[in-house]
Amino acid sequence: MTSNYNFAFLDENTKRMLRRALLKAVAIPGYQVPFGSREMPLPYGWGTGGIQLTAALLGPDDVLKVIDQGADDTTNAVNIRRFFARVAGVTTTERTTEASVIQTRHRIPETPLREDQILVFQVPEPEPLRTLEPREAETRTLHALADYGLMHVKLYEDIAQYGHIATSYDYPVLVDGRFLTSPSPIPKFDNPKLDHSPALMLFGAGREKRLYAIPPYTKVESLAFDDHPFEIQRWEHQCELCGSDESYLDEVVVDDRGSRMFVCSDTDYCGQRRGEQAA
């Protein structure tokens, strides 16, 4: 642990500012709280929002897990885990069940989370309406009025043009029946895990200087129409390593003739299953 920096890098005043913003976020599920995001020693767009939230949450007894694309050993996840081991000296783990704080990019673990766990999402674009309306002043007004017609029209136009809702990740959700919210770029496969989750879910967007929360056991609906209900991705394959037919699969090109194999994106889930099978 590097002693030249305060515990978990940020000074205590900054952590207090973050915690107050987080309390507000938990009090208003799905509402984007502006906060005084700091420059972190990792680049904007690489998880600075999640890192600031994790820094504000961590205590010396916490056990931290960091995943990117579901995997613990992707380079950016390794780097963030190294960062906290260096500036906070906390215990880190790759086991979902052992972690008290899990920072994630683009996935929710397959293993169900518990009430004593917090999931911290890295968010590139917190505003679900941004691609439809670039002006921040305007989107804040739309949220204030709960005017989400733009998004419904977009989904309708998808169906009219393609026969399907053409959003496969970062699929918009309505939190607690009030705020339209970005679940971050998780595949829509993971959206059902947001609904009534026992674990607290926190979202940090460092570059955009917004954070928001889905408190435990909050109703989270993925937008859909009565005649076009929400559906998640399915595969014709099973994981070639652990045989799971329930997990989100990554497609890996294995030779230069275009052969593919499908494996779990959640490396801990896959590894645990293989361990059990071997035993």
Partner 1 sequence: MYVAVKGGEQAITRSLQLLAEARRGDLTVPELSLDQIREQLRLGVARVMQEGSLYDEELAALAMRQAAGDMLEAIFLLRAYRTTLPRFGYTQPLDTNAMRVRRRVSGTFKDVPGGQVLGPTYDYTQRLLEFESTAPTSPLQAEAPLPDTMPRVLDLLDAEALIERIDAGVDPEPIDLTREPLMFPADRATRLQNLARGDEGFLLGMAYSTQRGYAESHPFAGEIRMGEVDVVICPEELGFAIEIGSITLTECQMINQFHGGNGLPPQFTRGYGLCMGEGERKAMSMALVDRTLRCDELGEPAYAPAQNQEFVLSHSDSVEASGFVQHLKLPHYVDFQAELSLLRTLSKQHAQHLNAEETAAQETSS
Q: Which residues of this protein are in contact with partner 1, per CB under 8 A?
A: 5-6, 9-11, 14, 34-41, 43-46, 48, 68-71, 73-79, 82, 105-107, 124, 134-137, 162-164, 166, 168-170, 185-189, 207, 209-210, 233, 235, 240-241, 248-252, 254, 261, 263, 265
Known catalytic residue: 30? yes
Check if the beta carbon of residue 38 is closer than 8 Å to that of residue 14: yes
Query: Residue 263 CA to chain centroid, in angstroms?
Result: 20
50, 177, 270, 275: the catalytic one is: 270
CB of 123 to partner 1, least distance (A): 12
Nearer residue to partner 1 within complex by CB, 65 or 105: 105
CB of 158 to partner 1, least distance (A): 10
CB of 198 to partner 1, least distance (A): 23
Nearer residue to partner 1 within complex by CB, 22 or 218: 22
DSSP label at 266?
A: -
Query: Tokens 């052969």 label which residue?
Result: 259
Query: Tokens 């984007």 label which residue?
Result: 32
30, 50, 70, 206: the catalytic one is: 30
CB of 217 to partner 1, least distance (A): 26
Nearer residue to partner 1 within complex by CB, 62 or 68: 68
Nearer residue to partner 1 within complex by CB, 58 or 218: 58
Alpha-carbon Rg for the chain, nearest whole angstrom, is 19
Report the alpha-carbon distance of residue 143 to residue 180 in Å, rounded. 7
Question: Residue 250: phi, psi to the nearest 5?
Answer: -95, 145
Taken as a whole, the chain contains a residue count of 279
For residue 232, what are its two tokens? 């998640």
Nearer residue to partner 1 within complex by CB, 185 or 216: 185
Known catalytic residue: 270? yes
242, 243, 271, 275: the catalytic one is: 242
CB of 161 to partner 1, least distance (A): 10
Among the listed residues 154, 192, 150, 187, the one whose alpha carbon sits nearest the alpha carbon of residue 171: 187
Report the alpha-carbon distance of residue 30 to residue 12 in Å, rounded. 26
DSSP string covering 59-117: -TT-EEEEEETTBSSSHHHHHHHHHHHHHT--EE-S-GGG-SEEEEES---SSPP-TT-
Annotated catalytic sites, by residue? 30, 239, 242, 264, 270
